[in-house]
Amino acid sequence: MKTYQTLMETDFSFPSQLNVYKGKVREVYTVGDLLVMIATDRLSAFDVVMPKGIPFKGQILNQIATKMMKATEDIVPNWLIATPDPNVAIGYCCTPFKVEMVIRGYMSGHAAREYKAGKRILCGITMPESMKENDPFERPIITPATKAEKGSHDEDISREAILSRGIVSEADYLVLEDYTRKLFQRGTEIAAAQGLILVDTKYEFGKTKDGKIVLIDEIHTPDSSRYFYADGYEARQNRGEAQKQLSKEFVRQWLIQNGFQGLEGQNIPFMSEEHIETISKRYIELYENITGDTFVRSDLSNINHRIETNVLNFLSTL
């Protein structure tokens, strides 16, 4: 078994750097009027960052997001300008909306867990009776979540609550809903071409300095989305079997089986090097199945130096 370096954190000081925000997985440097977003190899589940990184995970997420942004820029504007490094995206500085636009085509994941607990209303949306896990909704439902402060969980919220609390204006929210449905439709078409079903996903939006609403962060990655294999979907549903899927759900399920759901008093289970290698291989499988491209491993001999050099070279061209 080969041991790879992982990118767990960065500490750069770029010219004209104003500040840096470190999220669960990404680190975002504000450099003048630009954002330099670095996708680390950190693994987050149940809003908790695992102690060990996953080789190539940051590269995979960044490259999928980049490809998907380019494949949707004709229908929804986005923040992206360039990707000078496999782990880096550079784009316009935006003010993020404090909601994540989650859209679900199927009753899976969080929605299924809520449904099994007896709940029939999710974010103000009524879910029909007699649904089975992984059944499709008649029409995709939008179930927003509030953006959590550092260290806390995102929370479900209804459209009505978002508007009544003034988190987003009604005019802006109508744009967010429209963009969310258009992106999900395009994502569904892209997935279908790869023999996949886009089950659910989340989108994040921000406003540029001139007031334009744009798509930001990642899009259609296995961390932000759930995919099923289309082949055999109906047969598995009819037999009541679990669906064969492409998403980070396999990580969540392993954690649940080992007694961890991010709840107070629970300890993160130990991940062996063998298990980490398995997760890395699964992420590569996700990349190749979602994009249809062969994954090309980047040079990991000195990741931080490589990233810094590539970013500085790009910034010097501006």
Return the structure tokens found at 200: 């659910």
* pLDDT reported for residue 1: 53
Average pLDDT over residues 98-122: 96
Contact by Cβ (8 Å): 105, 188: yes
Average pLDDT over residues 203-221: 94
SS (H, E, C) 140-202: EEECCEECCCCCCCCEECCHHHHHHCCCCCHHHHHHHHHHHHHHHHHHHHHHHHCCEEEEEEE
Contact by Cβ (8 Å): 167, 98: yes
Residue 180's contacts (CB-CB under 8 Å, 6 or more residues apart) are 101, 103, 142, 203
Q: Which of 198, 199, 200, 197 is nearest to 230 (CA)?
A: 197
Q: Which of 312, 299, 313 is nearest to 86 (CA)?
A: 299
**What CA–CA distance (Å, rounded) separates 46 from 204?**
18
* pLDDT reported for residue 136: 97
* pLDDT reported for residue 148: 61
Q: Which of 167, 171, 166 is nearest to 211 (CA)?
A: 171
Beta bridge partners of 98: none
The CA radius of gyration of the chain, in Å to the nearest whole number, is: 19
* pLDDT reported for residue 46: 86
Contact by Cβ (8 Å): 238, 232: no
Contact by Cβ (8 Å): 72, 183: yes
**What CA–CA distance (Å, rounded) separates 96 from 215?**
9
pLDDT greater at residue 252 or residue 115 = 115
Average pLDDT over residues 174-179: 98
Which amino acid belongs to residue 185? Q
The whole-model pTM stands at 0.88
The mean pLDDT value of the chain amounts to: 93
Average pLDDT over residues 161-169: 97
Contact by Cβ (8 Å): 94, 105: no
* pLDDT reported for residue 167: 96
Q: How confident is the model at residue 247 (pLDDT cuts 50, 70, 90)?
A: confident
Overall residue count recorded for the chain in this entry: 318
pLDDT reading at 54 higher than 90:
yes
Q: How many helices and strands (H and E) does the chain possess?
A: 8, 18
Q: Where are the domains of the chain?
A: 1-94+169-318
Return the structure tokens found at 180: 């969310």
3-state secondary structure of 15: coil
* pLDDT reported for residue 222: 83
Residue 229's contacts (CB-CB under 8 Å, 6 or more residues apart) are 195, 196, 197, 243, 244, 245, 246
pLDDT reading at 114 higher than 90:
yes
pLDDT reading at 318 higher than 60:
yes
pLDDT reading at 151 higher than 60:
no
pLDDT reading at 30 higher than 70:
yes
Q: Which of 210, 224, 223, 204 is nearest to 92 (CA)?
A: 210
Contact by Cβ (8 Å): 90, 83: yes
**What CA–CA distance (Å, rounded) separates 261 from 227?**
21
Average pLDDT over residues 99-111: 96
pLDDT in tens, 249-293: 788 889 999 999 989 999 999 999 999 999 999 899 889 999 999
Pick from 131-145, 183-197, 259-273: least confident: 259-273
Question: What percent of the chain is modeled with pLDDT above 70?
Answer: 97
Class of domain 1-94+169-318: alpha beta
Quickly count: other Cβ atoms within 10 Å of residue 175's Cβ: 14
**What CA–CA distance (Å, rounded) separates 15 from 227?**
40
* pLDDT reported for residue 45: 87
If you ran DSSP here, which 8-state letter would residue 41 be given? S
Question: What percent of the chain is modeled with pLDDT above 90?
Answer: 83
Q: How confident is the model at residue 2 (pLDDT cuts 50, 70, 90)?
A: low
Q: How confident is the model at residue 20 (pLDDT cuts 50, 70, 90)?
A: very high
